[in-house]
Amino acid sequence: MLKKLSIATTVIAAAALSGCGEEGTAGIAPEVYTDSLFAVMKSDRTNYTKLIVQRLGPNKGDYIKPNEHWEDMEEGAPLPAQMFRYGAEGVAEMTDTFTYSLQSIWPVNKQNAPSTAMEKEGLKYIADNPGENFYGTEELGGVKYFTAVYPDVAVSPACTTCHNEHKDSPRDDFQLGEVMGGVVIRVPLS
Amino acid sequence: MMKKKIIWSLWAVSTTALLGYLSMGLFANEKKDLFLPGPVMHGHHQVEMQCSTCHTDPFGGGEVLQDACTSCHAKELKTALDSHPKTKFTDPRNADRLELIDARFCVACHLEHQPELMHPMGVSEPEDFCVHCHQDIGEERESHVGLEMTTCGNSGCHNFHDNKALYEEFLLDHKDEPDLLPTALLPTTDQIEVKIKTINDQSIPNQFELSDPDHKKWLASDHAQAGMQCQHCHGEVANWSSQPEIEVCADCHKDETDTFGLGMHGFPWKQGLGLAKVSDSFLPMHSDAVHKEVDCQSCHGSHDYDIQQAAVESCLGCHDDTHSNNFKASKHFQLFEAELNKEVQVGSGVTCATCHMPRMKIENEFGQEKLIVNHNQSDVLQPNEKMIRPVCMNCHGLGFSINALADEKLIKNNFQGAPSVHVESIDWAVARDK
């Protein structure tokens, strides 16, 4: 059963909890909600990339082999993009109040290229406007969503080395600090 | 007025009778075919009349059916490192794709009771179903330009679920292997660790004294050598069981009986429908075997527990298809005979069980691994590329294995000769890697 986030419901609940008994307009704005979710995602993603993949992977310690087929390798470790996807899949098993995915207009796996009109617009916007986010609404499968797109930046040589050298990557000139893709967060609206 | 009463009474009686007849059909096994919308797929035919195996809740929808699928197949998909798990499709960005095929549910592609739609592997979707998501593959892979989407799943290329032996990096890692590896040996299974219970009353009912030849067989068995006694399987004299059931074997051989219950040999037993009957099989069987039922003893023997007998003769005692009947003319069988004669190293011989009940690693809930004989003979059968890593690659190179399993004639004659088929997957992977 789809549980849709109702901003209005949140507002009413917040008002009731505050004891004022009035339906106000205060509450969590959708972009604040998705910004907060993104903050957690970005922090975890950066930490895994820097503290595990960069430090222990072939760029430095060479103790682990970050690889798409890590489960099939003795010293394999999930790629940062896979780690992010596993998080999204785990969340999807617990709640349907939001979903998220990692995409790029220069994807290694072509299935991670933007597919909806809003994804295409959002991914282009964050690539053209470094440091900015993108927000909008779209309808998919008969459900209306608040959709936010956040820049995914190369935070470590682990990102640029792998993407520049991968035979399926459409680019070989990513620079540290550059936007390589985007995190798309969707919140169903009632 | 009277006429109306009679008509109404007739209606009430006939409706009640019909209701009773149909209700009986719901609860009595022999009448369930009244409600069967069509035959089930081959893999499920043994439980066709036990609707509740899949329809676990009369009020359930797709999720209930999905749970039924995963209750049997989830572990298999996990082991296969499933290339298309449900989690890949749950994001709303896939909404337009799900309108074409709702890949979150097994029945989207494996629709039951629709034999007229069935393709190999129990797939009910048209064979070019990959086109829905991968229509642009020619833009990514030069080698794939112009290929028909019906050819994706050709033997040796791709499978929807299990690509463990077919993914590009694996192909490259094994690209230079010879047809026959320098060390061609099967792995040794891990020892079964069991604490043998002390038997207090060692007497047995007089009428069950073993004949001399059977007693000699028993004394030579691994069970007797390990210190087991009659009572460990038959029970003490007060509760003597002349024919111990599978559950008794499961006390010590849990992994073997667990996997047995997942294959065609043990599925009816696991589902509470009694032992599988040879006569119920859809495969060609010897006429003198049709009275047999399948349990541990039917293959391993009742006292000698001969694993060599179970690995070849027991199979050939029932199975009467071309592939089985050609086995004894194969090099694989010659190696098995040579091993029995101690002419080659232990592990060199290849039996029916080597390929169909392979020695495979399993992992428990704590992540500990052990090597067992997988008694689910369906596990690596279809698609046959599932056999490449746990079976063929113990002795053969990857390229040879892919080609051999893509060669239907070679499979029929039980691998007498070299593959006449060449699958280009390794060539394409190498060309793209340059």
Identify whether residues B146 and B271 lie together within a single domain: no
Question: Taking the mean position of all CA atoms in its chain, how far away is CA B72?
Answer: 11
Which residue segment(s) compose the domain that B89 sits in? 35-152
Looking at the complex, report in whole angstroms how far the Cα of residue B361 sits from the nearest Cα belonging to chain A: 13
User: What is the model's pLDDT at position B191?
Assistant: 81
User: What is the model's pLDDT at position A16?
Assistant: 40
Which range, of B90-99, B152-161, B199-208, averages the lowest pLDDT?
B199-208
Contact of B234 with B240, CB cutoff 8 Å: yes
ipTM: 0.82
State the CB neighbour count (10 A cutoff) for residue A175: 9
Q: Do B96 and A140 touch (CB under 8 A)?
A: yes
User: What is the model's pLDDT at position A24?
Assistant: 52
pLDDT at A21 over 60: no
- C-alpha separations of B289 from B269, B273, B397, B412 in Å: 19, 20, 37, 22
Expressed in percent and rounded to 5, the helix, strand and coil fractions of chain A are: 45, 20, 35
Q: What predicted TM-score, i.e. pTM, was given to this entire model?
A: 0.87
| pLDDT-based confidence at residue B42 (cuts at 50, 70, 90) | confident
Residue A2 within a domain: no
A131: left (phi over 0), alpha (psi -120 to 50) or beta: left
| pLDDT-based confidence at residue B155 (cuts at 50, 70, 90) | low
Identify whether residues B139 and B239 lie together within a single domain: no
Task: For residue A33, give the 3-state DSSP assignment.
Answer: helix
Identify whether residues B252 and B395 lie together within a single domain: yes
Residue A11 within a domain: yes
| pLDDT-based confidence at residue B100 (cuts at 50, 70, 90) | very high
Identify whether residues B323 and B387 lie together within a single domain: yes
User: What is the model's pLDDT at position A32?
Assistant: 97
| pLDDT-based confidence at residue A15 (cuts at 50, 70, 90) | very low
Contact of A162 with A53, CB cutoff 8 Å: no
The burial of B247, by beta-carbon neighbours within 10 Å (0-12 exposed, 13-18 middle, 19 or more buried), is given as exposed
Percent of chain A with pLDDT over 70: 86
Residue A36 within a domain: yes
User: What is the model's pLDDT at position A153?
Assistant: 98
Identify whether residues B147 and B218 lie together within a single domain: no
Tens-place pLDDT, residues B280-309: 999 999 999 999 999 999 999 988 888 899
A contacts of B90 (beta carbons < 8 Å): 89, 92, 99
**B239: its two tokens:** 């509760």
Residue A89 within a domain: yes
Task: Please state, in angstroms and rounded to a whole number, the distance separating the CA atoms of residues B217 and B209.
Answer: 14
Segment A15-30 shows an average pLDDT of 58
Nearest to B164 among A72, A110, A167 (CB): A72
Nearest to B93 among A71, A110, A115 (CB): A115
Number of H helices, E strands in chain A: 6, 6
Tens-place pLDDT, residues B2-14: 888 889 989 999 9
Number of separate domains in chain A: 1
Which range, of A13-27, B148-162, B201-215, averages the lowest pLDDT?
A13-27
Identify whether residues B245 and B376 lie together within a single domain: yes
Which residue segment(s) compose the domain that A25 sits in? 7-189
Please give the residue that has the higher pLDDT: either A34 or B53: A34
User: What is the model's pLDDT at position B410?
Assistant: 98
Tens-place pLDDT, residues B115-146: 888 888 889 988 899 999 999 999 889 999 99
Identify whether residues B140 and B282 lie together within a single domain: no
Phi, psi dihedral angles at B98 (to 5 degrees)? -65, -25
pLDDT at B208 over 80: no
Identify whether residues B342 and B227 lie together within a single domain: yes
pLDDT at B23 over 80: no
Identify whether residues B137 and B258 lie together within a single domain: no
Q: What is the mean pLDDT of chain B?
A: 91
| pLDDT-based confidence at residue A7 (cuts at 50, 70, 90) | very low
Residue B359 within a domain: yes
Contact of B371 with B331, CB cutoff 8 Å: no
Return residues 91-150 of B near A (CB < 8 Å).
91-93, 95-96, 98-99, 133, 136, 140
Segment B363-371 shows an average pLDDT of 86
User: What is the model's pLDDT at position A12?
Assistant: 36
Task: For residue A183, give the 3-state DSSP assignment.
Answer: strand
Please give the residue that has the higher pLDDT: either B217 or A120: A120
A contacts of B164 (beta carbons < 8 Å): 72
In A, minimum Cα distance to B139 occurs at: A110
Segment A69-79 shows an average pLDDT of 95
Taking CB atoms and an 8 Å cut-off, how many pairs form between chains A and B? 47
Segment B74-102 shows an average pLDDT of 92
Looking at the complex, report in whole angstroms how far the Cα of residue B207 sits from the nearest Cα belonging to chain A: 55
Question: Taking the mean position of all CA atoms in its chain, how far away is CA B165?
Answer: 18
Residue B146 within a domain: yes
Percent of chain B with pLDDT over 90: 62
- C-alpha separations of A122 from A33, A105, A149 in Å: 18, 10, 6
| pLDDT-based confidence at residue B31 (cuts at 50, 70, 90) | low
Please give the residue that has the higher pLDDT: either B155 or B409: B409
Number of separate domains in chain B: 2
Which range, of A9-23, A144-158, B365-379, averages the lowest pLDDT?
A9-23
Identify whether residues B126 and B218 lie together within a single domain: no
Identify whether residues B219 and B366 lie together within a single domain: yes
Residue B417 within a domain: no
Contact of A2 with A188, CB cutoff 8 Å: yes
Task: Please state, in angstroms and rounded to a whole number, the distance separating the CA atoms of residues B254 and B256.
Answer: 5
Torsion of CA B313, B319, B320, B321, to 10 degrees: -120
Which residue, of B152, B172, B187, is where some domain finishes?
Answer: B152
pLDDT at A26 over 80: no
Looking at the complex, report in whole angstroms how far the Cα of residue A99 sits from the nearest Cα belonging to chain B: 6
Q: Do B140 and A67 touch (CB under 8 A)?
A: no
**B218: its two tokens:** 């028993």
B contacts of A116 (beta carbons < 8 Å): 93
Residue of B82, B84, B93 to mutate, interface with A, max A Cβ within 10 Å: B93
Task: For residue A29, give the 3-state DSSP assignment.
Answer: coil
Phi, psi dihedral angles at B53 (to 5 degrees)? -60, -40
State the CB neighbour count (10 A cutoff) for residue A148: 26
Segment B345-349 shows an average pLDDT of 95
User: What is the model's pLDDT at position B26?
Assistant: 64
Which range, of A33-47, B16-30, B358-372, averages the lowest pLDDT?
B16-30
Which residue, of B152, B181, B215, is where some domain finishes?
Answer: B152
Tens-place pLDDT, residues B223-263: 999 889 899 999 988 888 989 999 999 999 999 999 999 99
Residue of B91, B97, B430 to mutate, interface with A, max A Cβ within 10 Å: B91
User: What is the model's pLDDT at position B4?
Assistant: 87
Residue B78 within a domain: yes
pLDDT at A5 over 50: no
User: What is the model's pLDDT at position A138?
Assistant: 97
Identify whether residues B107 and B233 lie together within a single domain: no
